[in-house]
Amino acid sequence: AQTVTQSQPEMSVQEAETVTLSCTYDTSESDYYLFWYKQPPSRQMILVIRQEAYKQQNATENRFSVNFQKAAKSFSLKISDSQLGDAAMYFCASGMDTDKLIFGTGTRLQVFP
């Protein structure tokens, strides 16, 4: 069974600084996908970034990048130049092909001016 663990219930960062959110996962599959979703106070789930496990290159989307360590089963999210609008819950998730997503328990990110 797949599991996803987020060990940081809360994190905080100063505006314009960089913060890294941690995520580890466990799966016996060789082909899978990893995701970071953002959930602002509106509670809408917004896709931040996606990584295919077969790709060695770390995914990047503007200020968001991941550090994917397949052997260690680690998938951390780095947010550069943090903005007030980045404040939200962040969920790490894993999935296979068209299968269900398994979510971590989330990290609440606060951004201070």
Rounded Cα distance between 84 and 11, Å, is 14
Quote the tokens at residue 14. 């100063």
Nearest CA-CA partner of 40 in 110, 74, 72, 87: 87
**Residues in 72-91 that interact with another protein by CB under 8 A:** 91
Quote the tokens at residue 53. 């496990």
What is the DSSP pairing of strand 101-103 with strand 88-95? antiparallel
**Residues in 8-47 that interact with another protein by CB under 8 A:** 33, 35, 37, 42-47
H helices of the chain, where? none
> Which one, 15 or 31, has the nearer CB to another protein?
31
Residue 103 touching another protein (CB under 8 A): yes
CB of 87 closer than 8 Å to CB of 75 = no
Residue 95 touching another protein (CB under 8 A): yes
Least separation in angstroms between residue 67's CB and another protein is: 20
> Which one, 19 or 59, has the nearer CB to another protein?
59
Out of 17, 52, 61, 81, which residue is the one contacting another protein (CB under 8 A)?
A: 52
Per rule CB under 8 A, count of chain residues that contact another protein: 24
